[in-house]
Structure 1
Amino acid sequence: MAHWRRSLLAYGVTALPLAALGLPLYVFLPAFYAGLPEVGLAVAGIAILLARSLDVFTDPLVGYWYDRNRWGNRLRRPLMLVGALLLLFGISRLFVPPADAGGVYLFLWSLVSYTGWTLISVPYLAWGAELTEAYHARTSVTVAREAFTILGTILMIALPLLTGHTDELALLMRDAAWLLYLLLPTAVLITLLATPAPAQRRATAPGYLRALLEDPLLRRLSLAFFSNSMANAIPASLIILYVETVLQAGTSLPLFLGAYFFSGLLALPLWQALARRLGKARTWALSMLLASAAFVGVLGLGPGDVAGFTVICLLTGASLGIDMALPASIQADVAEQQRLVSGQHRTGTLFGLWSLLTKLALAVAVGIAFPLLSATGLESGRTATSMQQLWLTLLYALLPVTIKLHATWLVWRLPLTESELLTLRDSARSPERSDDEIVPADTDRLRPVAERRV
């Protein structure tokens, strides 16, 4: 047990700097470049959309190569090291731009940074899915990773308070870069040196991508995951503008973010216990319902409603950690299901696909929200009209709630449970076979009732 806990800590720690990077890269960066004289809202949104749209293709390519190469497990460590170096180089340019930086500069260095992130994250996520085959232990792996994710985010939230740079995004971005120079290589080295490596496996045969795309369970989970990611990405991209323009409480941003992420960290054990009783899919759906119900309250807020928005941050934040942990745990179950039914290892490709969907959701969120706001005449740093504030509020709150409710409906009907997975294991593997010799199993039982064969 002690060894397992050490392994969880060693594995999870890399999520800390990646999460710390996420806040400046996905939340602060759009607003930072939108305020530069050579960029603006529309150009910032388009440049980030283009960079993320190109970057999404690297994720499934890295995952596919990982599955196709029989030495993928051994190459995981050097791949993550190369990714860490590339990511550090990219953010050194992206977070501290020259005075004349424009849209092309933002596009190019965003693309470099995203590529480095991919080289770390795809093998890292696949590694977590392969650490254990125990159904609920997979949730322990993802909870450990997401706990470090929240801690990393909280650390980045506290950074401006520690440095005193609470009102200047340029100084905050520079401080974030220096913090990541220290955290990222340290955490990656701990993970690479102290996390157990999964057993060596055979290379996956080519020609299976079409089979993945035709799988009804995978399609439903991927659509739910994309919808939920987009619902989370829209308010993440707009929170600075919303707090400054509608609430007119820019100095309270650390309070809001702190309440949100601390609530998520504290609620994680409760959600994990609930998932053992209700199942992963139903628990994830309930967490999304809670977040949606609480976030509707944003529609009733106005200038100076700091207390009201803090309460909303606490309620929606309570769903944060499990909203990240349970999808990843379900994804690990689906990766095993794919291995059992096909006899092939597809973990890298699957997590590459889901990483693609995450980035695509972020890209679409910025690419839609910022140009729409720019079309209303809203500009960062200028006083907004009442109509501009209304549009900002609707984009920030109502649109993501609608999308998240769609994701909730999809998740509620996910059929893959612990008993179904155990049945698949029994039918796919006989006592005489090794772990790598798998008989494809019948997965018709995993389809929603309306989609099953007659």
Structure 2
Amino acid sequence: MGQLARPTLSRRTYLGYAVGSVGTGVFATVPGLLLLTFLVRQLQVPPALAGLVILLPRLWDVVTDPLVGSLSDRTRSRLGPRRPWLLAGALTLPVAFALLFRVPELAGRPAAVYVLGVYVLGTTAFTIFQVPYVAMPAEMTQDYHERTTILSWRVALLTVGILLAGGLAPEIVAAGGGGRDGYARMGLAIGAVLLTALLACFLGTRAAPVAAPVATTASFRQQLRAAGDNRPFLLLLACFVVQALGIGAMLAGVDFFAAYVLGDPGQTSILFVCLVGPALVTMPLWAWVGHRFGKRAGWVTCSLVFAAGGLSLVTASPQRLWLVYLQVVVMGTAYAGTQLFPFAMLPDAISLDTARSGLRRAGAHTGVWTAGEKGGMAIGPAVYAGILALTGFVETESGAIVDQPSSAVTGVLLGFALVPPLLVVSGLWFLRGYDLDADTVAGLHGSDAPPLAPGAVPYPSPLPVPDAPDAPRAPDADVAPDAGTDAVDRPPESP
């Protein structure tokens, strides 16, 4: 699996980067956990329409994510190419989130239109922060194993964000009376958490290395084509999106599962803590597995464990809550790995493109990646909402629990315990052809590195390198200006 290199980044830099995931975890989780039930049970929106409200903003992300990634690749700033975007997202996302759950006196379709408009604004602000944020590890270090370390810190803090979202948000809603006022108070409180975490990330990454300027950059269309030509990247993306679809469906079903299968809506927070809490303990284990056996093997293993725990919930009963908790803890043991390994492998796939082209295109790759992630996480709730609609679920007013037909209760259970695990396992099919390991990634930066494209420069380079005078270039390629303050920043030594 290759030799472990001495870390080149300080723990302060690890933490400064990772704290941003408290915010991304909160925003990625709360709408998936509560927005569907808010629409259906509070705003009287039919399930099928509610699923569409959640889906459409994520489809919008398919356009905006790659665009923001490409723009961040081209950004020239004394703050580096990524951090200006972090600041913009940190200042806009909390406001949009608070407004998402503060709905005027509307119900049904008018309420759906309001939520849709605000959600589009929120997901756009999230894109502005997240896409450059995800691009940063590929530029912070070239070491295969240190990327796992960076991402293990990130997922540990992501877990904190998810715990805040899943454990705290429903409790704030309940403390506020469980109705619209409760959701509005939750929006303000979680918005404050978002503001704190995202600004802390912006400030905490001041010492993080940034990508060196390059002599040529491709157009937006060429950058997307480059991502599409990167086979390891496409394999990772396909697996990740299918699994995100399954996890999105499961998150959307937690509240329904607690209310209609376990008979107690108050179980939602407990189930969420059982799912996410073990990640804080098992993260070092999965990081060790990645170092010892490789990231691909680690991803397959944790996915199978996650699916096994999920399938066992088909037998869930309110008479055996202790068993339900145990089954969800098994899933939680593997959940950390399902979040760690895809993001730890992404920088390796980006390095392949960088080594081949010599160009800074991490943002374009991560834009496509996050678009796929958000699409999967949005289609998942839409799939769950579709299952509810097909099985005859009756929408309710003001969160009331009403008697549902037996077919609807079956749909609630199977949509939560059967469909998501099957999707998680199905995604593994795409990893069969993935072949980037530690030795391969090390070779990308050594004597075995593939030849550079015509006119490209070595990456990363601490100094600007002018275009080769006789090198051909694409007719719509841009020429980057002088390096200025964008030369590679060297991080402080670890204490």
Same fold (TM over 0.5): yes
The equivalent position to 2:189 in structure 1, one of 174, 179, 183, is 179
Is it true that 1:97 corresponds to 2:109 in the alignment? no
Distance 1:37 1:212, change over 3 A: closer
Is it true that 1:112 corresponds to 2:124 in the alignment? no
The equivalent position to 2:407 in structure 1, one of 387, 393, 407, is 387
Q: Which has the higher contact order (CA 8 A, sep 6+)?
A: 2
Is it true that 1:398 corresponds to 2:418 in the alignment? yes
Q: Residues of 1 paired with 2:8 and 2:459: CA distance?
A: 28
Distance 1:250 1:433, change over 3 A: closer
Q: How does 1:299-314 map to 2 (within 5 A)?
A: 299-314=314-329
Q: Is the 8 A contact 1:165 1:171 kept in 2?
A: no
The equivalent position to 1:200 in structure 2, one of 203, 209, 212, is 212
The equivalent position to 2:143 in structure 1, one of 128, 134, 156, is 134
Corresponding residue number in structure 2 for 1:442: none
Distance 1:176 1:8, change over 3 A: farther
Corresponding residue number in structure 2 for 1:156: 165
- Deviations 1:23-74 (CA, angstroms, capped at 9, x unpaired): 3222111111111344232221111112221233110110011223455963
Q: Which runs of 5+ in 1 are unaligned?
A: 440-454
Corresponding residue number in structure 2 for 1:240: 255
Corresponding residue number in structure 2 for 1:46: 52
- The one-letter code sitting in structure 2 at the alignment partner of 1:205 is A
Distance 1:123 1:390, change over 3 A: same
- TM-score normalised by length of structure 2: 0.82
Question: How many residues in Structure 1 have an aligned counterpart in Structure 2?
Answer: 438
Q: Is the 8 A contact 1:249 1:304 kept in 2?
A: no
Distance 1:278 1:148, change over 3 A: same
- TM-score normalised by length of structure 1: 0.89
SS of 2:393's equivalent?
coil
Q: Residues of 1 paired with 2:78 and 2:250: CA distance?
A: 37
SS of 1:305's equivalent?
helix
The equivalent position to 2:271 in structure 1, one of 247, 252, 256, is 256
Q: How does 1:327-406 map to 2 (within 5 A)?
A: 327-380=342-395, 381-406=401-426
Q: Residues of 1 paired with 2:283 and 2:438: CA distance?
A: 21
SS of 1:96's equivalent?
coil
Distance 1:402 1:179, change over 3 A: same
State the superposition RMSD in angstroms. 2.5
Q: Residues of 1 paired with 2:252 and 2:133: CA distance?
A: 25
Greater share of helix residues, 1 or 2? 1
Give 1:429 deviation, angstroms: 7.8
Q: Percent identity?
A: 25
Corresponding residue number in structure 2 for 1:55: 61
Q: Is the 8 A contact 1:234 1:396 kept in 2?
A: yes
Q: Residues of 2 paired with 1:369 and 1:173: CA distance?
A: 22
Q: Is the 8 A contact 2:244 2:380 kept in 1?
A: no
Distance 1:72 1:66, change over 3 A: farther
